[in-house]
Amino acid sequence: MEGSVVVWLTCSLLAISCSVNAVYTYDPKSIRRRNLLANGLASTPPMGWNSWNHFNCMIDEKIIKETADALISTGLAKLGYKYVNIDDCWAEIYRDEKGTLVPKKSTFPSGIKALADYVHSKGLKLGIYGDAGYYTCSKKMPGSLGHEEHDAKTYASWGIDYLKYDNCNTDGSKPTIRYPVMTKALMSAGRPIFFSLCEWGDMHPALWGSKLGNSWRTTNDIADTWESMISRADENEVYADYARPGGWNDPDMLEIGNGGMTKDEYIIHFSIWAISKAPLLIGCDVRNITKETMEIISNKEVIAVNQDKLGVQAKKVRMEGNLEVWAGPLSDYRVALVLLNRGPDRTAITAYWDDIGIPPKSSVVARDLWEHKTLEPRFVGNLSATVDSHACKMYVLKPVS
Ligand SMILES: *[C@@H]1O[C@H](CO)[C@@H](O)[C@H](O)[C@H]1NC(C)=O
Ligand SMILES: *[C@@H]1O[C@H](CO)[C@@H](O)[C@H](O)[C@H]1NC(C)=O
């Protein structure tokens, strides 16, 4: 994404005004409902699959259909993974004579409507990809700048359920100028379409995204490495207060199953995305998924934390060097907790009730979500665990007195 570096630099000035703005105008209680995008979607973070992380531009309708089939046959769809999202490179470089986007004939010969019908027949939803510029990031297909209304109507007529909207090859104007045009177009297109803002966090979209979309990327693209994953988790955490049912911070799609990290690192990836109420969009080849990857992304108890109806994003509540405690409230006075060891040595980590919003004298039942065990002693005041290097523990805590 060549454009993004330039925008990032110019944004260092904006960052000051953005954050000052935040201090003076953000009042979570008063804006919590009023500023939501009124399409009724995203009461919990979206779950599904996206083609980009594994396939990049090498996609076709066969892969998309087989992925839909695989989401069903693996049982992932039943766990909530419903969106089948096509990323960049699905269209011809030229629009037709009416100005309509044309599905690429060599790779999507049946067209997107037929694909949507297929995906819907399985009880799943179809997502697509566009760009708030003249061309998408691949430069292999047109963007929607100047065609927003027409493209939104096209998507609605095809039966599209989700639009990821990228930020490449623009006219240089701010995302806050270009994105609302597509919001308006989608809202009058006659079909509820989840709107995923993908301007990579350049203009702090957490501060304005909830009025325009159902999720907003807070970071640049993820890569399948520990450094990339963990730095996106950090960048996304800063905006925790802005996530809420209807609109979510998005640290980018999952890399679990793509091979660049250890199993423990992928467990961290899934745990932190879940507790951060991030979209859970699988990014590997679901048609050829390993037992290990399935074990991670099908953990029902971790998914339940992500999909909890309270919809509050966790924060880092304590950091000591490489040791971190992440926690956030769940419904029914429960608390989700991650103990994260980013360092090179196996070390004990302690979470104190003081730090995680549990009254100090409360006795707590702890459920270990990766061991699938309710721990025997009750805990008072703190919970400690020894955690391997680049590994984590994840719990749900329930005060009982
Ligand atoms: C399936 O995955 C295995 C490793 O997990 C890999 O070696 C193989 O090439 C994959 N097959 C396809 C068709 O992608
Ligand atoms: C944790 O709490 C227990 C009492 O429940 C106490 O004995 C222990 O010292 C505490 N641990 C730390 C590290 O504060």
State pLDDT tens for residues 188-237.
Answer: 999 999 999 999 999 999 999 999 999 999 999 999 999 999 999 999 99
Do the beta carbons of residue 80 and residue 301 sit within 8 Å? Answer: no
What pLDDT shows up at residue 34?
Answer: 52
How crowded is residue 65: how many other Cβ atoms within 10 Å of its Cβ?
Answer: 17
**Which bound ligand lies closest to the C-alpha atom of 348?**
2
What pLDDT shows up at residue 38?
Answer: 83
Scored b (16 or more CB within 10 A) or e, 138-176 reads: bbebbbbbebbbbbbbbbbebbbbbbbbbbbbbeeeebe
Task: Find the 57 Cα to ligand 1 centroid distance in Å.
Answer: 18
What pLDDT shows up at residue 36?
Answer: 72
For the chain, first and last CA: distance in Å? Answer: 53
Which ligand 2 atom is the nearest neighbour of the CA of 383? 1
Do the beta carbons of residue 158 and residue 125 sit within 8 Å? Answer: no
Cα distances (angstroms) measured from residue 61 to each of 26, 48, 158, 245 = 44, 17, 15, 32
Three-class secondary structure of residue 262 per DSSP: coil
Residue 246: φ, ψ to 5°: 110, -30
What pLDDT shows up at residue 49?
Answer: 99
Q: What is the DSSP string of 173-226?
A: --HHHHHHHHHHHHHTTTS--EEEE-STTTT-GGGTGGGT-SEEE-SS---SSH
Which protein residue's CA is at the shortest distance from atom 10 of ligand 1?
Answer: 288
What are 321's two structure tokens?
């060097």
Q: Which of 288, 291, 293, 295 to mutate to test the pocket of ligand 1 (most atoms within 8 A of CB)?
A: 288
Task: Find the 269 Cα to ligand 2 centroid distance in Å.
Answer: 29
Cα–Cα distance, 251 to 220 (Å, whole number): 8
Those residues of the chain that have pLDDT short of 50 are: 1-31, 33
Note if 131 is an active site residue.
no
Which protein residue's CA is at the shortest distance from atom 3 of ligand 1?
Answer: 288
Which protein residue's CA is at the shortest distance from atom 2 of ligand 1?
Answer: 288
* Of 117, 221, 355, 368, catalytic: 221
| Ligand 2 first shell, C-beta below 6 A | 350, 380-382, 384
For CA atoms 163, 165, 171, 177, give the dihedral sign.
Answer: positive
* Of 87, 88, 161, 166, catalytic: 166
Which ligand 1 atom is the nearest neighbour of the CA of 259? 5
Q: Which residues contact 381 (CB under 8 A, 6 or more apart)?
A: 352, 353, 360, 361
What pLDDT shows up at residue 37?
Answer: 84
Cα–Cα distance, 324 to 343 (Å, whole number): 10
Which ligand 1 atom is the nearest neighbour of the CA of 285? 14
Note if 221 is an active site residue.
yes
